[in-house]
Structure 1
Amino acid sequence: MSLLLAPVRRPSASTRTRRFAALAVLMLPVLLIAVDNTVLSFALPAISADLHPAATTLLWVVDAYPLVLAGLLVVMGSLGDRWGRRRLLFVGATGFAAFSVAAAFATDAWMLVAARVAMGVFGAMLMPSTLSLIRNVFEDRAERRLALAVWSCTFSAGGALGPLVGGVLLAHFGWGSVFLLAVPILVLLLLTAPFLVPESRDPAPGPVDFVSMALSLAALAPTAWAIKSLADPDTRGAALAALAVGVVCGVAFVRRQLTARVPMLDVRLFRSVPFTGSIVTNMTAMFSLTGFLYFISQHLQLVAGLDPFTAGLVLLPGTVLSVVAGLVVVPVVARIAPRWVVAVSLLSSAAAYALVAALGHGADIRALAVAYVLLGVGIGASETVTNDLIVSTVPAAKSGAASALSETAYEIGAVLGTAVLGTVLAAAYRAHVVVPAGLSSTEHVAAGQTLGGAVAAARSLGGHAGAELLASARAAFDSGVTTTAGVAAVLMVAAAVGAWFTLRRVR
Structure 2
Amino acid sequence: MQPHPRRWLILVVLCLSTLVLVIDNMALTVAVPSLAADLGATSQDIQWVLESYMLVFAGLLLTAGSLSDRYGRRKIMVIGLVLFGAASLAATLATDPGQLIAARVAMGVGGSLIMPSTLSILIVVFPDEVERRKAMAAGAAFAVLGLVGGPVLGGALISSLGWEAIFWINVPLAALAIVAAITLMPESKGPVTRPDPLGAILSMVGMTALVWTINELAHGIAWTSLAVAVLALGAFVYWELRTEHPMVPLKLFRDRDFAGGSLSLTLVQVGNGGLLLVLTQYMQFVLGYTPTQAGLAFIPMFIASVVFNGVGAGLGGKIGNRTTAVVGMLVMAAGFALLSFSSSDSFTLLAVAQVVLGAGSGLAGPSAIAALMGAIPTEQAGVGSALNDTIQQAGAALGVAILGSLATSSYASAMPATAPEEARRSIAAAVTDPSLAAAARQAYDAAMSSAFLGAAAGVLGAAVLALILLRGRKVGAHAASPTPQQTPVGVTT
Q: TM-score, with normalisation over the residues of structure 2? A: 0.90
How far apart are the structure 2 equivalents of 1:54 and 1:445? 15
Alignment check: 8 A CA contact 2:316 2:366 kept: no
Residue 174 of structure 2 corresponds to residue 198 of structure 1:
no
Change (3 A) 1:258 1:368: same
Who is 1:463 aligned against?
Answer: none
How far apart are the structure 2 equivalents of 1:105 and 1:445? 33
Who is 1:39 aligned against?
Answer: 27
Alpha-carbon shift at residue 48 of structure 1 (Å):
3.0
- Give a deviation string over 1:314-363, Cα, whole Å, max 9, x none: 2112111211211222221222122221112112221122112234x456
Who is 2:66 aligned against?
Answer: 78
Alignment check: 8 A CA contact 1:342 1:385 kept: yes
1:25 counterpart letter in structure 2: V
Who is 1:389 aligned against?
Answer: 371
Who is 1:441 aligned against?
Answer: none
Change (3 A) 1:241 1:232: same
Alpha-carbon shift at residue 122 of structure 1 (Å):
0.9
Residue 353 of structure 2 corresponds to residue 365 of structure 1:
no
2:113 pairs with 118, 122, 125, which one? Answer: 125
2:332 counterpart letter in structure 1: S
Who is 2:196 aligned against?
Answer: 209
Who is 1:218 aligned against?
Answer: 205
Mapping 1:21-420, distance limit 5 Å: 21-204=9-192, 206-233=193-220, 236=221, 239-359=222-342, 361=343, 364-420=346-402
Change (3 A) 1:329 1:19: same
Alignment check: 8 A CA contact 1:435 1:469 kept: no
2:326 counterpart letter in structure 1: A
How far apart are the structure 2 equivalents of 1:412 and 1:53? 26
1:488 pairs with 445, 449, 455, which one? Answer: 455
Change (3 A) 1:159 1:418: farther
How far apart are the structure 1 equivalents of 2:319 and 2:129? 20
Who is 2:478 aligned against?
Answer: none
Change (3 A) 1:181 1:19: same
Alpha-carbon shift at residue 434 of structure 1 (Å):
4.7
1:497 pairs with 437, 440, 464, which one? Answer: 464
Alignment check: 8 A CA contact 1:55 1:446 kept: no
Change (3 A) 1:25 1:58: same
User: Percent identity over the alignment?
Assistant: 36
Alignment check: 8 A CA contact 2:196 2:245 kept: no
Alpha-carbon shift at residue 223 of structure 1 (Å):
1.2
How far apart are the structure 2 equivalents of 1:300 and 1:362? 9
Alpha-carbon shift at residue 445 of structure 1 (Å):
6.2
Alpha-carbon shift at residue 367 of structure 1 (Å):
1.4
Who is 2:425 aligned against?
Answer: 449
Mapping 1:449-468, distance limit 5 Å: 449-455=425-431, 458=432, 466-468=433-435
How far apart are the structure 2 equivalents of 1:356 and 1:142? 36
Q: Which moved more, 1:78-87 or 1:288-297?
A: 288-297
Alpha-carbon shift at residue 44 of structure 1 (Å):
1.7
1:399 counterpart letter in structure 2: A
2:206 counterpart letter in structure 1: A
How far apart are the structure 1 equivalents of 2:410 and 2:36? 19
Alignment check: 8 A CA contact 1:215 1:250 kept: yes
How far apart are the structure 2 equivalents of 1:23 and 1:123? 18
RMSD: 2.2
Alignment check: 8 A CA contact 2:305 2:359 kept: yes
How far apart are the structure 2 equivalents of 1:167 and 1:286? 25
Alignment check: 8 A CA contact 1:44 1:298 kept: no
Change (3 A) 1:447 1:98: farther
Change (3 A) 1:280 1:155: farther
Alignment check: 8 A CA contact 1:73 1:124 kept: yes
Q: TM-score, with normalisation over the residues of structure 1? A: 0.88
How far apart are the structure 2 equivalents of 1:125 and 1:362? 41
| Runs ≥4 residues deviating over 6 A | none
2:463 counterpart letter in structure 1: A
Alpha-carbon shift at residue 174 of structure 1 (Å):
1.1
Alpha-carbon shift at residue 55 of structure 1 (Å):
3.3
Who is 1:427 aligned against?
Answer: 409
Alpha-carbon shift at residue 89 of structure 1 (Å):
0.9
How far apart are the structure 1 equivalents of 2:38 and 2:346? 28
Alpha-carbon shift at residue 133 of structure 1 (Å):
0.9
Residue 454 of structure 2 corresponds to residue 471 of structure 1:
no
How far apart are the structure 2 equivalents of 1:50 and 1:414? 28
1:310 counterpart letter in structure 2: Q
Alignment check: 8 A CA contact 2:218 2:404 kept: no
Alignment check: 8 A CA contact 2:257 2:375 kept: no
Alignment check: 8 A CA contact 1:288 1:417 kept: yes
Alpha-carbon shift at residue 399 of structure 1 (Å):
0.5
How far apart are the structure 2 equivalents of 1:122 and 1:454? 37
How far apart are the structure 2 equivalents of 1:192 and 1:226? 39
Q: Which moved more, 1:334-343 or 1:83-92?
A: 334-343
Alignment check: 8 A CA contact 2:266 2:394 kept: yes
Q: Which moved more, 1:397-406 or 1:32-41?
A: 32-41
How far apart are the structure 2 equivalents of 1:114 and 1:426? 27
Alpha-carbon shift at residue 305 of structure 1 (Å):
1.1
- Give a deviation string over 1:251-309, Cα, whole Å, max 9, x none: 11111111111211110000112111111233334333331111111111111112222
Alpha-carbon shift at residue 131 of structure 1 (Å):
0.7
How far apart are the structure 1 equivalents of 2:409 and 2:146? 30
Structure 1 gap segments, 5+ residues each:
1-8, 438-443, 459-465
Alpha-carbon shift at residue 161 of structure 1 (Å):
4.1
